[in-house]
Structure 1
Amino acid sequence: MSSLHLAILLPFIAAIVIPLIYPLTKRLHTGWITILVPAALFMYFVFRLGDTANGGYIVEEMAWVPSLDINFDAYLDGLGLLFALLITGIGVLVVLYSIFYLDKTKEQLANFYVYLLMFMGAMLGIVLSDNLIVLYIFWEITSLSSALLISYWFTNKGSIFGARKSMLVTVFGGFAMMAGFILLYLETGTFSIQALIDQRDLIMASPYFIPAMILVLLGAFTKSAQFPFHFWLPDAMEAPTPVSAYLHSATMVKAGIYLVARMTPIFAGASEWFWIIVVTGLMTLIWGSVSAVRQKDLKGILAFSTISQLGLLMVLLGLGSAAFTGETIDENLVYSAAIMTAIIHLFNHATFKGSLFMAVGIIDHETGTRHIQKLGGLMAIMPVTFTISLIGLASMAGIPPFNGFISKEMFFTELLHISSMNVAGVETWGVVILAVAWIASVFTFLYCAILFFKTFFGTFNKENFSKEVHEAPLGMLISPVILVGLVIILGLFPNLLVPTVIEPAVASILPHLPAEELTINLSLWHGLNTELLMSLGVIGFGTTLYMTYSKWKNLRIMQHDRDPFNSVYDKSLNGLSTSSEWITNVQMTGRLKDYFTYMLLFIVSLLTYSFIRSDSFTLSFTQTEEAPLFLYGIVFLTILSTIALLFMKERIPLIITVGVVGFLIALLFAVFSAQDLAITQLLIETVTVVLLLLAFRHLPEMVQETGSRVRKSLHIALSASVGLLVFLIGTASFALRNDANFTPVSEFFIENSYSLAGGKNMVNVILVDFRGLDTILEVLVLAIVALAILMMVKLRFKGGEDV
C-alpha cells in the first residue's frame, strides 16, 4: 500500500481503534489521542509540497475492480494538496478546540471522534481519488458521517431534523452525480478523471455532454448549498460548534467547490457550463447575503454568510471557465485570473469563517445563548473573543488590512472584466452580474456589522444569561487565535503561500495553460482604482443601512428568519410520506392473490418491454422432431389438470389436483432426460402436498372469489399473458440455440466443469462451485425460515399452554 493510500485510510483505521481504547482513556480526553491523526497527516502533506510545484503531480495506483475500470488510484496535484492541507490543518485546530468545548464527563466522545475521523478520511478520499466511482463512494460517506455529526446531540429534535434534511438533499445530489459519471463512462469507457480530461473533445461532442454536466453539477450544488438547495445548511447548525467550524466552513461544503474545479477541464469551454455556474452562484451570493441580515441567531447569520460566500466562489469558478474559450493562450491567461481569485478566496474563507464559528461557539458556551437580541456589551467581558470576531468579520466584510480584502478586490476586478470574455451573451448581462454582486457585497458588510455591534456593543444585561458570563479558557481560544493570525499575516504578506500552494492548485485546474505562466503577484494596496471605489461604496452604503437599522428592522420580511424554501421542502416531504402511505395501502392488502397480481404484472411488463426493445424474439421450427404419442397424452393430462383447478370448490381436491400437475411435470422432466430435475420435482411436490393437506384441513371452508367482473377479467388476462410469455421465451430460446452465431452459456459449463471444479456432475458443479454464493444464500434463507418456524412452534406450545 502506497503512502497516499495510507494517508486516506489512516482516519478510518483510527476510527476503528478509538472505541477500543476509549475505556482505557477515562482520565484523558479522547481528543488528545485523536489530534495525532490530523497532525501527522498535515505534516505529511506539508512535506509533499515540492511534489506539486510547477504543475507536478503524483499517481499511486491500486487495482480494485479492473474489469469495470474501478481502481483505487490516488492522485495528488496542486488542487488536491490544497484541499488536503485545509482538511487536515483545520482538522487539527477543530479537534484542539473540541477538547475544551466538549465535556469528557458528559459527552459520548468516542462516538464524536469516530464520526469526525470518518468524515476526515472521506474528504481526503474525495480530493485524492482519480477514479470517479471511488470519489462517489467517499462522497456518500461524507453525507453519512456529516449527518451523524449533525445529530450528535440526538436528544435534540432540531439536530435530528437537520441531520435528516442534510442527508436527503446531499444524497439526492450524490445519486444525480453518479448518474452523470456513468454517462461519461458510456461515452469514454473510463472512470479516470485524468483520462477524461484527455478525451475532452470527445466528451464535448457527445450527446451525453449536457445531461452529464447537469447531473454532475446537481451533486456539486447540493453539497455546497447552492440556490435553491441551500436550505439544508442553516438547519445543520444544530450540530456542536466544532462540527460547524469544520464541516460547514472549511471542508464539507467545499466538496462541491472542489468538484466543479476538478471537472472544469472536462466541461469548461461550453457556454452552458459558464452560465449555469455563474447564474447559480450569483443567486446563491445575493440570497445568502440578504437572508443573513434577517437572522437573529449568531449561527444562523454565519450559516447564510457561508451560503453567500460559497456562491461567490461558484461565480469565480464560472468566470474562470472562460479561460478555455479564448482564441490565444495570452487571452486565456487573462481569464484564468478568476480561477486564481477563487483559490485565494477559498483559502481566505477557511481562515476567517473557521475563526468566526469558533468565536460564536465560545459566546454560546460561555453565555448560554446565541440570540442576538439577548446579547450585547460583551466587549469588556470577553476581550479576546471580541478581538477574534473583529478580525474575522472585518476580513469577511472586505476591510483592509486583512486577507478577505485582497480576494474581494480581486473579485471586483474579475467582475469589471466580464464583458470582455469570449462567451455568448456576456456583453448583455455583464453589467447585471456586476450590479448584483456589488449589492450582495453591501449586504455582506451589513450582516458583519450587525453581528459585531449587536454582540459586543450596547448594554450588558445580566438577566438575559443563564450563567455567569466570562472569557473562554485559554485552550478554547488557541485555535481561533491561530486562524485570525493567518488572516492578518496573509493580509500583510499575501504572497506567502502563493508559489507553494496557490499557483500549483491553479495549474491543476488549467492544465492546458503553461504552469510557469500562471504566476500571481498579490499586494494589499493597488492604488486608487475602480475596485477601491467599489469597496468604498460598499462600506458607505453598508454603514448607512446599519445606521438606519432601527427604521427598517421591523419590516415584515425581517420578522421571518426561516428560509421560505423550507416550506417547499416540508411540503415535498409530507407529500412523499402521504403518497408512500397511499401506495402501501394499495399494495399491502393482506391478500396473497393481490401480491401475486402485482408481481406478475411487473414481470410481464418488464419482459415484454425487453423483448420489444432488444428485438430478440425469434421463432424457428426447422430442427424439430415428431413427438411420440405418449408425450401428447402427458401434455393433454397436464393441460386438463390445470384447467380443472379453476373449477375446484374445496381445498382437498384442489391440493391433490395441484400435486397431479406437479407429478406430470416431473414425468416430462424424466422423458427429456433431466433426471435430477425430475427427482427434485417429485420430492418437492410430495412434501408440498403433504404439508398443505396437514395445514389446510384446519382452516375454514374455502370462499370463492366475489370480486367484480373487471377484477376477474384482469386476473384471466394476466394469467394468459404469463403463460403466453413463458411459451414465447421457451420458443425463442429454442430458436436461438439453432443460430450459428449464438453460443449458449451451457457450453462454458460443459467445457469447464471438470477442469475448473473437478466434478463430473455438471448440475452439482454449477450449484456448488459456479453459483456457490447463490446456494449459500439460499441455504441461509432456508435456515432463517426454519428458525422462524421453530420459534413459532415454541411460542405456540410454551409451557403446554397457548400463548
Structure 2
Amino acid sequence: MSLLHLAVISPLLLALLIPFLHKHFRKIHTGWFLLPLPAVLFGYFLQFISVTRQGDTVMETIPWISSLGIDFTVKVDGLGLLFALLITGIGALVVLYSIYYLSPEKEKLNTFYIYLLLFMGAMLGVVLSDNLIVLYAFWELTSFSSFLLIGYWNHRERSRYGAQKSMLITVFGGLSMFGGILLLNSITGTFSITETIAMSNEVVNHPLFTATLILFLLGAFTKSAQFPFHIWLPDAMEAPTPVSAYLHSATMVKAGIYMVARMTPVFAHSGTWVWLVAGIGIITLFWGSFSAVKQVDLKAILAFSTVSQLGMIMSLLGAGAAALHYGTIQDGYYIVAVTAAVFHLINHATFKGSLFMVTGIIDHETGTRDIRKLGGLMNFMPITFTLAIIGTFSMAGIPPFNGFLSKEMFFTGMLRIAEMDIFSFDTWGILFPIIAWTASVFTFLYSMIYVFKTFTGKYQPEKLDKKPHEAPVGMLIPPVILASLAVIIGIYPDVISGRLISPALRSILPALLDDSKAYEVHIYHWHGFTPELFMTIGVIAVGILLYKTLTKWTGVYRAFPEKLALNRFYDSGLEKLELGSLNITRGYMTGFIRTYLVYIFTFFVLALGVTLFYRNAFALDFSDVAPIRFFEVVLVAIMAISAITILFAKSRLTSIILLGSVGYTVALFFVIFRAPDLALTQLVIETVSVALFLLAFYHLPQINRKEEHMRFKLGNLLVSIGVGVIVTMIALSAHSNKSFKSISEYYVENTYKKAGGENMVNVILVDFRGFDTMFEIAVLGIAALGIFAMIRLRLTRGKE
C-alpha cells in the first residue's frame, strides 16, 4: 500500500482506535490524540505543491475488482490537492477548537471523534479517487458520517430532524449521481475519471449525454445545497459548532463544487451544462443572501450565507465552463470566472470557518446566538470582535481582505458572460451581472447585521444566560489563524496564485494545456476605474442605506406566503410519503401467511413465466427420455389423489395419513429408480414426520367446523395452477436445454479416484460438499440449541 492510499484511509484506521484511547486515557481529552493526524496529513500533502505546480500528477493504484474496472486509484493533481489541503488544514484547526469547545464531562467524545474521522477520511477519498465507483462509495460515506455529526446531540428533536433532512436530500442526490456514473460507464466503458475526460468527445455526442449530465448535477446540487435543495443546510446548523465550521465551510458542502469542477472537462461542451450550473448557481446566490437578512440566529445567518456563497462559486464554474468553447485563450480572458471560483473557494474556507468559530465562542460564552438578545459585546470580547470584523468584511467584499479580491473577479466573470456569443448568453446573459450585484448588496447587508447587531449597540445582560467574557486562548487560536490568512491572502494574493490556483485551473480546464499562459494567474487590488470598482462602490453605498433603514423595509419578507415555503413542501411531502407507505404496507401486511404466499407465488409465476417466454427458453426434447411404465402412472395417480384429498379432509388424522401416503409413494419411486439410500432416507424422514405430526396435533384442540362450505377462490386456483405449470415447464426446459455436460459425469469419474469412496452420494455430501454439509449441520445444531433453550425456559417459568 502506497503512502497516498495510507493517507486517505488513515482517518478511518484511527477511528478504530479512538474507543480504546478514550477508555484507557480518560484524564486526557480525546481530541489531543486526534489532532496530530490532520496536521501530519496537511504537511504530507504540502510536498505535492511542487509537483502540481509543474502541471504533473501523482497516481497510485491498488487492484480491487479489476474485472469490472474498479480499482482503488488515488490521484493527486491541482484540484485534488487544493481540496486535500482544505480538508486536512481546516480539519486540524477544527479539532483544536473542539478540544476547548466540547467538555469531556458533558459529551461522548469518543463517539464525536469517530464520526469526525469517518467524515475526514470520506472527504479525502472523494477528492483524491480517480475511480468513479470508489468515489461514489466515499461520497455516500460523507452523507452517512455527516448525518451522524449533525445528529450528534440526538436528544434534541431539531438535531434529529436536521440530520434526517440532510441524509434524505443528499442520499437522493447520491443515488442520482450513481445512475449517472453507470450511464457514463456504458458510454465510455471505463470508471476512470482520467480516461473519461480523454473520451469527452465521445460522451458529448452520445444519446445518453443529457440524462447523464442531469444525474451528475443532481448529486452535486444536493450536496452543495443549491436551490431548491438548499433547505437541508440551515437545519444542519443544529450540529455542534466545530461540525458546522468543518462541514459547512470547507468540506461537505464543497463536495458538490468539487464534482462540478472535476466533471467540467466532460460535460462543459454542452450548453445545458453551462446554463444549468451558472443559472442554478446565480439563483442560489441571490436567494441565499436575500434569506440571510431576515434571520435572527447567528448560525442561521451563516447558514444562508453559505448557501449564497456556494451559489456564487457554482455560477462562476458554469460561466467559466464556457471558456472551453473558445479553444486556446490568451491572458485568461474567459477563464477569469473559473479562476475566481477556485480563489473564492479558498477565501470562503478562511473567513467562513473563522466566523463559525466566532459564533461558537459567542454561544459558548453568552449562552445564546439570538441577535435580539445580543449587543454591546465589543467591550467584553475585543479579540472575538476583531475576528468578526475581519471575517464579515471579507465576506462582504471590502478591501483589503481576500474576499474583496475574489468578489471583484466574480463581477468580472459575470460581466464576461454578457459578452459571450454562445448559448444565447449575448441576450439573456445580461441578467447575470444584475442578479450578481443585487445579491452582493444583500451579502454586504447580512454581514453588517452579523457583526454590528452582535458587538455594538446596547448591552442586554438580563437576556443572557452568562456574563460574557473572552474565550480561552485555545479556542481563539484556530479563528485567529483563519482570520490571519484572510488578511495575508488579501494583501499578498500571489502567495497562492501559482501554488494552488493555477494547478487547479489545469485540472478543471485541461483542454487549454497547449497554452501555458492561460494558466498564469496574477491577482492584485488596483485595476483602475473599472465597472467592477463602481459595482463595488454601489454595493457598499446601497448596503449601508438598507442597513440604516432596516426596520422600514423588512416587512417585505412577510409578504411571501408561508404556504409556498420550500420547507413546507418538504415537510408535507415527507408526511404524505410516510402516510402513503403506511397505507400500502397495511394493504399487503395482513398478518395471514396464506396472503403472503399468494404474493410470493404470484411474483414467482410472473417473473419466471415472462422470463421463459421472453428469452424463448421453453423447449421440449423427449428423445433421451425412458418410457413411462404403467405402475409409474399408478403411483403418480396415488400421489395426486392423496394430495388433492388433503384439501377436503375433515379431520387432522385423515390429513396426516394422506400426507404420509404422498411421502411413502415418493420413497417407492426412489426404489424403482435404484436409489436405495435415498429411499431409506425418505422412509426414515417420513416416518419421523408422521409421528411428530400425530404427537403435535394430539395436543391441539378439536376442529370446530361450522355447517358451511369452504368458499371457492378463483385467484388461489389460478396461482396454484400457475405454480405447477411454471415448475413443470422449468423442469422440462432444464432437461431439454443442456448447454453443457451434466456435472454428474464429473462425480462418476472422480468419486473413487479423488475421494476413495464407492458411494457417490455419500462422497458428494462429505467430501465435495463438505463445507456445505458442515454448515447445514451447524444450522441444525443452532436450531436444536434454540429449541432446547425455549423448552428449558418454559419449564423454568412453570416451576416458578
Q: What TM-score, normalized to structure 2?
A: 0.93
Match of 1:106 in 2: 106
Matched AA of 2:119: F
- Counterpart contact for 1:323–1:332, Cα < 8 Å: no
Alpha-carbon shift at residue 79 of structure 1 (Å) = 0.9
Matched AA of 2:71: N
- Counterpart contact for 2:355–2:391, Cα < 8 Å: yes
Match of 2:144 in 1: 144
Deviations 1:77-134 (A, max 9, x none): 1111111100000011111111111122322212111111111111111111111121
How do 1:159-308 residues align onto structure 2 when only pairs under 5 Å count? 159-308=159-308
Corresponding residue SS for 1:376: coil
Match of 1:407 in 2: 406
Alpha-carbon shift at residue 470 of structure 1 (Å) = 0.8
Asked if 1:396 corresponds to 2:395, the answer is yes
Match of 2:315 in 1: 315
Match of 1:656 in 2: 657
Identity level (%): 51
Match of 2:442 in 1: 443
Instruction: Give the distance between the partners of 1:774 and 1:707, measured in 2 at CA.
Output: 49
Deviations 1:334-379 (A, max 9, x none): 4333222211111111001001000111100010000111111111
Asked if 1:550 corresponds to 2:551, the answer is yes
Alpha-carbon shift at residue 582 of structure 1 (Å) = 2.0
Alpha-carbon shift at residue 649 of structure 1 (Å) = 2.6
Instruction: Give the distance between the partners of 1:263 and 1:673, measured in 2 at CA.
Output: 67
Alpha-carbon shift at residue 775 of structure 1 (Å) = 6.4
Instruction: Give the distance between the partners of 2:766 and 2:252, measured in 1 at CA.
Output: 46
Distance 1:747 1:510, change over 3 A: farther
Match of 2:715 in 1: 714
- Bigger mean CA deviation after superposition, 239-248 or 727-736: 727-736
Alpha-carbon shift at residue 671 of structure 1 (Å) = 4.8
Instruction: Give the distance between the partners of 1:496 and 1:299, measured in 2 at CA.
Output: 31
Instruction: Give the distance between the partners of 1:592 and 1:615, measured in 2 at CA.
Output: 34
Match of 1:795 in 2: 793
Corresponding residue SS for 2:59: strand
Distance 1:508 1:600, change over 3 A: same
Q: Which runs of 5 or more residues in structure 1 are unaligned?
A: none
Match of 1:630 in 2: 631
Instruction: Give the distance between the partners of 1:762 and 1:299, measured in 2 at CA.
Output: 74
Alpha-carbon shift at residue 475 of structure 1 (Å) = 1.2
Distance 1:769 1:528, change over 3 A: farther
Instruction: Give the distance between the partners of 2:225 and 2:30, measured in 1 at CA.
Output: 32
Deviations 1:547-599 (A, max 9, x none): 11111234552899999222222222222322232233223322111111111
Distance 1:214 1:469, change over 3 A: same
- Bigger mean CA deviation after superposition, 551-560 or 70-79: 551-560
- Counterpart contact for 2:336–2:412, Cα < 8 Å: no
Corresponding residue SS for 1:72: strand
Alpha-carbon shift at residue 768 of structure 1 (Å) = 7.6
Match of 2:6 in 1: 6
Instruction: Give the distance between the partners of 2:20 and 2:462, measured in 1 at CA.
Output: 45
- Counterpart contact for 1:396–1:404, Cα < 8 Å: yes
Instruction: Give the distance between the partners of 2:69 and 2:751, measured in 1 at CA.
Output: 31
Matched AA of 2:547: Y
Match of 1:481 in 2: 480
Match of 1:17 in 2: 17
Match of 1:734 in 2: 735
- Counterpart contact for 2:396–2:447, Cα < 8 Å: yes
- Counterpart contact for 1:757–1:769, Cα < 8 Å: no
- Bigger mean CA deviation after superposition, 511-520 or 493-502: 511-520
How do 1:675-754 residues align onto structure 2 when only pairs under 5 Å count? 681-702=682-703, 712-737=713-738, 742-743=739-740, 746=743
How do 1:24-43 residues align onto structure 2 when only pairs under 5 Å count? 24-43=24-43
- Bigger mean CA deviation after superposition, 72-81 or 783-792: 783-792
Alpha-carbon shift at residue 652 of structure 1 (Å) = 2.6
Corresponding residue SS for 1:63: strand
Instruction: Give the distance between the partners of 2:589 and 2:783, measured in 1 at CA.
Output: 21
Corresponding residue SS for 1:454: helix
What is the root-mean-square deviation of aligned Cα atoms in Å? 3.0
Instruction: Give the distance between the partners of 2:631 and 2:400, measured in 1 at CA.
Output: 101
- Counterpart contact for 1:757–1:765, Cα < 8 Å: no
Corresponding residue SS for 1:553: helix
Deviations 1:276-311 (A, max 9, x none): 222222222122111111211100010111111111
Instruction: Give the distance between the partners of 2:139 and 2:707, measured in 1 at CA.
Output: 54
Distance 1:720 1:701, change over 3 A: farther
Deviations 1:505-559 (A, max 9, x none): 1111222221723111111111111111112222222222211111123455289
Instruction: Give the distance between the partners of 2:587 and 2:199, measured in 1 at CA.
Output: 49
Instruction: Give the distance between the partners of 1:676 and 1:262, measured in 2 at CA.
Output: 66
Corresponding residue SS for 1:61: strand
- Bigger mean CA deviation after superposition, 152-161 or 38-47: 152-161
Matched AA of 2:40: A
How do 1:449-460 residues align onto structure 2 when only pairs under 5 Å count? 449-460=448-459
Q: What TM-score, normalized to structure 1?
A: 0.93
How do 1:575-594 residues align onto structure 2 when only pairs under 5 Å count? 575-594=576-595
Instruction: Give the distance between the partners of 1:321 and 1:163, measured in 2 at CA.
Output: 33
Distance 1:657 1:755, change over 3 A: closer
Deviations 1:771-790 (A, max 9, x none): 88876775665455444433
Instruction: Give the distance between the partners of 1:51 and 1:499, measured in 2 at CA.
Output: 12
Count of residue pairs brought into register by the alignment: 797
Matched AA of 1:107: E
Corresponding residue SS for 2:495: coil
Alpha-carbon shift at residue 166 of structure 1 (Å) = 1.4
Alpha-carbon shift at residue 264 of structure 1 (Å) = 1.6
- Counterpart contact for 2:378–2:455, Cα < 8 Å: yes
How do 1:39-78 residues align onto structure 2 when only pairs under 5 Å count? 39-78=39-78
Deviations 1:626-676 (A, max 9, x none): 323332222222222222233223223223323333343454456556777
Distance 1:671 1:205, change over 3 A: farther
Deviations 1:180-229 (A, max 9, x none): 21222233332221122222233223333222222222221111111221
How do 1:354-393 residues align onto structure 2 when only pairs under 5 Å count? 354-393=353-392
Deviations 1:148-172 (A, max 9, x none): 2112222222212211221222222
- Bigger mean CA deviation after superposition, 243-252 or 150-159: 150-159
Instruction: Give the distance between the partners of 1:491 and 1:756, measured in 2 at CA.
Output: 82
Match of 1:644 in 2: 645
Instruction: Give the distance between the partners of 2:193 and 2:94, measured in 1 at CA.
Output: 31
Matched AA of 1:641: S
Instruction: Give the distance between the partners of 2:774 and 2:498, measured in 1 at CA.
Output: 58
- Bigger mean CA deviation after superposition, 602-611 or 781-790: 781-790
- Counterpart contact for 1:231–1:563, Cα < 8 Å: no
- Counterpart contact for 1:325–1:422, Cα < 8 Å: no
- Counterpart contact for 2:337–2:414, Cα < 8 Å: no
How do 1:346-357 residues align onto structure 2 when only pairs under 5 Å count? 346-357=345-356
Matched AA of 1:8: V
- Counterpart contact for 2:374–2:455, Cα < 8 Å: yes
- Bigger mean CA deviation after superposition, 704-713 or 232-241: 704-713
Match of 1:92 in 2: 92
- Bigger mean CA deviation after superposition, 204-213 or 145-154: 204-213
Alpha-carbon shift at residue 449 of structure 1 (Å) = 1.4
- Bigger mean CA deviation after superposition, 541-550 or 582-591: 582-591
Alpha-carbon shift at residue 491 of structure 1 (Å) = 0.8
Instruction: Give the distance between the partners of 1:411 and 1:751, measured in 2 at CA.
Output: 78
How do 1:475-624 residues align onto structure 2 when only pairs under 5 Å count? 475-514=474-513, 516-517=516-517, 518-555=519-556, 557=558, 564-624=565-625
Deviations 1:27-68 (A, max 9, x none): 322222210000110000011212222321111110122222
- Counterpart contact for 1:72–1:134, Cα < 8 Å: yes
Matched AA of 1:604: V
Corresponding residue SS for 2:594: helix
